[in-house]
Structure 1
């Protein structure tokens, strides 16, 4: 067995698209062009508005925040919930208090998640 570290110490800061207080640790790549990373969005952090280069699943594992898709509507999101963006879709996310997110990116993702009904945080 091997133990690996995935903490803010292993992440690099990201400032693209006007993002702030954001760092990301790469987790893995595969021959099928799958990218998995861990985003550490700090207090008052922002992943700036940009187009998805491919399909993207944004799975919140700690904390809470807000996500916005191509329609421009903001939706609250918290640990245990995920946002999905299509290739080319404009999107952004932010958090007042911080959140940790696992991001899955690939040309085609096959999701096995139950679509959430609207919920109150």
Structure 2
């Protein structure tokens, strides 16, 4: 086992007009699969840009909004995610700050499982 931190905010990102965005590369897998931790400061924005591959944006703390190609903003908070296809223009912003894990690569979403009311052991 190895314990590690992924909220290190290693690189300040300013591409595509981003403001208050810090990124930490976490891991890469087979093919083009990679995981990045993003922290967006209060009032920050991830500027509009195309997804380089299929991308999942999983908010782990805080909240804000996400938008796809049409520019319509949708609220998003901890425990929610957004998925964009390769090439899809998208952007994210926050008034209060957020931390998200971004998974990029060939990924398929699982359908939600029906709750049986009992815990798995």
Q: TM-score range by the shorter chain?
A: 0.7 to 0.9
In the TM superposition, 1:11-90 aligns within 5 A as: 11-90=10-89
- CA displacement 1:1-34 (0-9 Å, x = unmatched): 32112223x5211000000101011110113210
- CA displacement 1:12-61 (0-9 Å, x = unmatched): 11000000101011110113210101000111110000111110000000
Size of the aligned set, in residue pairs, is 112
Runs of 4+ in 1 over 6 A off after TM superposition: none
- CA displacement 1:42-81 (0-9 Å, x = unmatched): 1111000011111000000000001000122100000000
Matching residue of 1:3: 3
Distance 1:98 1:53 in 2: 24
Distance 1:27 1:90 in 2: 23
Q: TM-score, normalised by structure 2?
A: 0.87
Q: Which runs of 5+ in 2 are unaligned?
A: 113-121
Q: Which runs of 5+ in 1 are unaligned?
A: 115-121
Q: Over the residues paired in the alignment, what is the CA RMSD in angstroms?
A: 1.2
SS where residue 23 of structure 2 aligns?
Answer: strand
Distance 1:113 1:71 in 2: 25
Distance 1:91 1:13 in 2: 19
Q: TM-score, normalised by structure 1?
A: 0.87
SS where residue 46 of structure 1 aligns?
Answer: strand
After superposing the two structures, state which structure 1 stretch, 38-47 or 28-37, moved more.
Answer: 28-37
Distance 1:61 1:67 in 2: 14
